[in-house]
Amino acid sequence: MVCQHRPAVCCKGGRIIGLYLDPPANALVLSVDEKPSIQALERATGYVQTSSGKIVQGLKTTYKRHGTVNLFAALEVATGFIRGKTTQTKKRVDFQALMSELVDDQPADRQIHVILDNYCTHKKNETWLATHPNVTFHFTPTSASWLNQVEIWFGIFTRKALSGASFRTVEHLKQAIQDFTVAYTNAPPRLSGENARSRARNCDILSLIYAIRH
């Protein structure tokens, strides 16, 4: 079994799954990560007719580069609420700035649990944590960043807001990121019957892993 051969996976993974399935009372659980170097690409887009007569959206393979931005995002696990912050760099100070904004929005005595992968900017934050004793960082096991739920949102964001899009400037890209984040938060996706069954199966799997850990 995985727990016999890789105890660290079960220890760290079980703790994170426990936060998803059975979070501490009145605590805030956040899933946080960043999407680096999002390119502001400007390219011609439109609609073309295929040889079969079907009308599809098309775009030119050539484009202009207008720079990049980094996107830090925090998913509130209980509600699906997303907070995003765009930066020009992806340094530890940028990560701490996002965390400070998130913490400042909460009561000073509320416990905050933050799920993170093992990227270097998420580590060596002992000084910041010492000034925020109500915050606890939980790191995914090595090569298991998929346990971080915000990764699902990044996939949705990439498909819906970036794929096939054209951005005239970096500011245009930043505005598109903000608009998508607001729209997603204000209109959470509804689950179809199949999606609901799939999520139920995933919850069963998570429950099993959590039970093995405990």
Q: Greater confidence, 171 or 147?
A: 171
What is the enclosing helix (H) or strand (E) of 122? none
CA dist., res. 107 & res. 101, Å (int): 12
Domain-embedded: residue 154: yes
pLDDT score recorded for residue 59: 66
Count of domains observed in the chain: 1
| Segment 91-131, tens digit of pLDDT | 999 999 999 999 999 999 999 999 999 999 999 999 999 99
- 124: buried, middle or exposed (CB in 10 Å: 19+, 13-18, 0-12)? exposed
Judged by average pLDDT, the poorest of 43-47, 99-103, 134-138, 185-189 is: 185-189
The full length of the chain comes to: 214
> Does any domain span residue 205?
no
β-pairing verdict for 55-59 and 135-139: unpaired
The answer to the question of residue 80 being in a domain is: yes
CA distance 62 to 64: 7
197 pLDDT exceeds 90?
no
Q: Which of 9-18, 129-138, 179-188, 195-204 has the lowest mean pLDDT?
A: 195-204
Alpha helices in 26-157 (DSSP H): 92-104, 126-130, 150-157
CATH of the domain at 135: 3.30.420.10
Separation between Cα atoms, residue 212 and residue 206, nearest integer Å = 10
Structure tokens at 205: 């799997």
Q: How much is the average pLDDT of 162-189?
A: 89
100 domain-assigned: yes
51-90: per-residue pLDDT in tens?
Answer: 888 887 666 677 799 999 999 999 999 999 999 999 999 9
Containing structural domain, residue 24: 2-189
> In this model, does residue 202 exceed pLDDT 60?
no
Task: Say whether pLDDT at 214 is over 50.
Answer: no
Burial 51-86 (b: 16+ CB within 10 A, else e): eeeeeeeebeeeeeebeebbbbbbbbbeeeebbbbb
Question: What pLDDT does residue 15 have?
Answer: 87
Copy the structure tokens of residue 21.
């399935």
Q: Per the domain annotation, does 79 fall within a domain? A: yes
Q: Tell me, what DSSP letter sits at residue 145?
A: G
Residue partners of 94: CB distance under 8 A and separation at least 6: 70, 72, 85, 87, 121
